[in-house]
Amino acid sequence: MFYSTQILAKKGPLGTIWIAAHLDRRLKRHQVFETSIPASIDSIINPEAPLALRLSGQLLLGVVRIYSRKVGYLFQDCTDALVKMQQ
């Protein structure tokens, strides 16, 4: 086995990353903001138990999707603030 089931559990350290990689639409806004990207990447690069290369790639895809969502939310918040300031 190339991963621990506890790592990928829904409430585990990489659970949100796993959900982002496979079920992107199920992520809530608070889950995205609670996820620490540097800590997640560190967990993927230096795992406690060995991870398969395919699993590492899928988890990195999840990190990219979460980062993209964070940037999108920031852009939307800035756009809303700019519109309110111009009124």
The domain segmentation of the chain, as residue ranges, is 15-86
Q: How many CB atoms lie within 10 A of CB 14?
A: 26
Is 1 a residue whose pLDDT tops 70?
A: no
Q: What is the pLDDT of residues 9-63, one digit of tens each?
A: 878 789 999 999 999 899 999 999 999 999 999 999 998 888 889 999 999 999 9
Q: What is the pLDDT of residues 50-79, one digit of tens each?
A: 888 999 999 999 999 999 999 999 999 999
Spatial contact of 4 and 49, defined as CB atoms under 8 Å apart: yes
Rounded CA Rg of the chain:
15
Is 4 a residue whose pLDDT tops 80?
A: no
